Structures are given as structure tokens and as C-alpha cells.
Amino acid sequence: MTAVLRAHGLGKRYGRRWALADCELEVPSGHVVGLVGPNGAGKSTLLNLSVGMLTPTAGSVEVLEAPAGAQQAKVGYVAQDTPTYSRLSVADHLKLGARLNPAWDDSLAQQRVQRLGFDLKQRAGKLSGGQRAQLALTLGLAKRPELLILDEPVAALDPLARREFLQDLMEAVAEQELSVLLSSHLVSDLERACDYLIVLVDSRVQVSGEIDTLLATHHRLTGPRKSAKELPRDQHVVTESHTDRQSTFLIRTDRPILDPAWNVTQLTLEDLVLAYMSRNVAAKPERPVLEVQR
């Protein structure tokens, strides 16, 4: 598997607090990858490290086979607050994009703003939240990147603006054949846009893989009370709960479930994400092993 992003022992510390610690991650190329996790999992820190906006305290991160920040011309980035310059007009943003990006596609940028009905003279500060997000996406796409990184770009948008943003993103993915890493806490966005999932909890990858495969290999078993130790070895228990007479397991397995005592049900993507987010994660080490050489 070719990876567009690799993190090894990656950590970022602010004073005594580790915002990200000992993170191991691979993001495959050719996919729209959904990165999901609870608040404080380290998602935004990871993305800021990946685009070179932060310097690691420990470990390393590579983007497009080079150290983070070395491939800026090939990486598009839309930060969490979909940043634009409030006093600059839409036209000013496009001129700035053309000046800063050697592979800038002005035809693409102009076509997008025309289709979206933007007034080129209007200042970004006067645009709606959805329009600012679309302008930021336009700047990211017109770079003609190989990798587009989006940090919860639609979290503050209304449902209609969010749907329009994601539809535009999917059209761009189909046209440009770029890889996308999309951080979001909205499972509906992941279902609409992503074909690959990474669940990050306390800096650690809990599960990753193509969404169709993950859904096909995870099941909920409900039946007479039983210990997890009694299950076949090929049935990996993700979560379990018990009453006096009944047990419920969420398991991962590549093989058929043959025990007739179980009532087997398929999971939704939300079921899958919440199960991995709710697992007890081993305590993070106080200090990652790998330190950046100064």
C-alpha cells in the first residue's frame, strides 16, 4: 500500500501536556480517508504537524514520501475555521493563490467562483460561512494538489451548505484523482464522502481500513450469557456487555459465524465508530521513546 502520509512515534508537547503522543499512522493514497475521533484525540495537532505548521516534539511524519512541509506545493489544506482574509476580496484571494502556488490552475478557480455565484469584488468577511468554506476549498483545489487535507471544514455549516461542500469535494476528487484526508466528527459526512476510515483515540489508531470491508467484517452478537474467552479465536472482541442472562459482543472476524445460539446483526458506520471510540485505551506513556534530533 502506497501511503501519502506516515507518522512514526509522532508527538507534540505543550509544556507538560502532550497533545499527541507516540502516534503511528499510515494514510493510503487513492482514497478519501475519514479521520475521526473524540475531542482531544489529537486530530488537529496531527494535521497541523503534517502540513508543517507545527514542529514535532517527538518522532517523525512524512507526506508524499518527504518530511512534512517539504511538499507544500503538492498539498492542499483547509483548516478547521476555513480561514480566509476578511478584508481581501474574492479576486484578491485568487491572485494571492496564483502568486503562492506554482501549479495554480486559474481556469479551475475562475470556473468554481463563477459557478458558485461569487462576486469577485466582495470581501471575504462579508461572505456566509458556507461561502467562505467554498472559497477555501477553491484555493485548495486550484493548487492542483496530490493530497488535500481538510480539518473539519464543514463542522460549523448548516446541513445544506455542508452537503453542497461535500458534493463539490466529491466532484473534484473524481476529476482530479487526488487523495483526501478529511477530519470530521460527523459520521454522516464520512458516509457521504469517504471510502476509507481511521479512528484515532488518545493518539492511537484503533481501527483503519476500507469502509465497506470494515462493515462486512464487524458484527453484533446477541445471545445467552457467555464469556469472551468462550468465543472462537478468530472472533476479535471490540466491545462487550452483559446482563444476568444475555451477552452482547461487537466482534471483528473474516469468517462466517456458525454458532446458532447467536443473533447476528450488521453494524452501521456510526455503530462501528462509536464502538471503537468508547473502548478503554491504554494509558499513554509520559514521554514518547523517539525524540526529534535537534
Q: Are 31 and 173 in contact (CB under 8 A)?
A: no
Whole-number mean pLDDT of the chain? 90
For domain 3-209, is the CATH number 3.40.50.300? yes
Q: Which amino acid is at 155?
A: A
Name residues whose C-beta falls within 8 Å of residue 233's C-beta, 6 or more positions apart in sequence. none
pLDDT band at 293 (very low <50, low <70, confident <90, very high): very low
Task: Convert the pLDDT of each residue in 123-154 to its tens digit.
Answer: 999 999 889 989 999 999 999 999 999 998 88
Q: Are 5 and 35 in contact (CB under 8 A)?
A: no
Comparing CA positions, the residue from 15, 230, 51, 235 lying closest to residue 149 is: 51
pTM comes to 0.87
Which residues partner with 117 through β-bridges?
Answer: none
The structural domains of the chain, with segments of one domain joined by +, span 3-209, 212-277
Q: Where are the beta strands (DSSP E) in the chain?
A: 3-14, 17-28, 32-36, 58-63, 66-67, 75-78, 147-151, 179-183, 196-201, 204-210, 218-224, 236-242, 246-252, 263-266
Q: Which amino acid is at 128?
A: S
Task: Convert the pLDDT of each residue in 42-79 to its tens digit.
Answer: 999 999 999 999 999 999 999 999 999 898 899 999 98
What's the pLDDT at 294?
35
Comparing CA positions, the residue from 76, 59, 82 lying closest to residue 203 is: 59
